Amino acid sequence: MREDIEKVIVSQGEIQEAVARLGKEIQTDYVGKVPIFICILKGAVVFMTDLIRAYDAPAEIEFMDVSSYGDAFESSGEVRILKDLDIPVNGRDLIIVEDIIDTGRTLEALIKLLKTRGASSIKICSFLDKPARRLINVHVDYTGVLVPDEFLVGYGLDYKNQYRNLPYVGVLKPIIYS
């Protein structure tokens, strides 16, 4: 474990289990369809690459960058679209792939936008869910792991754009950000 990490919240083994379960669950729900997995950059990229390989059926992948946080701990309340989808999604089945749902602001904005583009269905798959921080009640269809109200890093989650490459999810030592 890296010296900046105080404790591990989701281990590599638990990640593998959760991803395998989610892949199978989603696969069962999309038989005969070709869903588009939409990865929300950058946080979801690590989970996305594991999830799409745990989904053993035809699918497409797309990327979007929607940011509400910047380099700080707290949500700014604004959601900016930094990179849009490359293709039209009218009539398509979409699965939004997130690393974590916190306040729910990012997702709320995204769902609103994708609905206006005529998707035939929109579901949410988030690796982590931090319900204690929720400000907006968004329905999460597929959840990996429920996590406590702590600032987490690893498996895609960052502090000042670092730590995304940790293969587990952990809590930073307070000395790092104080």
Q: Which residues are catalytic?
A: 102
Residues paired with residue 48 on neighbouring β-strands, in sequence order: none
Q: Where are the beta strands (DSSP E) in 28-172?
A: 36-41, 60-67, 80-83, 93-101, 121-129, 142-146, 152-153, 169-172
Amino acid 65 reads: D
Q: Shortest gap between Cβ of 103 and ligand PRP (angstroms)?
A: 3
Among 14, 17, 42, 57, binds ligand PRP (CB under 6 A): 42
Residue 151 binds which of ligand PRP, ligand HPA, Mg ion, none (CB < 5-8 A, kind-dependent): ligand HPA
Residues that bind ligand HPA (CB under 6 A): 69, 100, 102, 151-153, 157-158
Residue 75 binds ligand PRP (CB under 6 A): yes
Amino acid 147 reads: V
Q: Is the dihedral of CA 131, 150, 38, 32 positive or negative?
A: negative
Q: Shortest gap between Cβ of 38 and Mg ion (angstroms)?
A: 17
Q: Shortest gap between Cβ of 51 and ligand HPA (angstroms)?
A: 18
Positions 139 through 178 that interact with ligand PRP (CB under 6 A): 158
Residue 93 binds ligand PRP (CB under 6 A): no
Query: What is the β-pairing status of strands 142-146 and 121-129?
Result: parallel
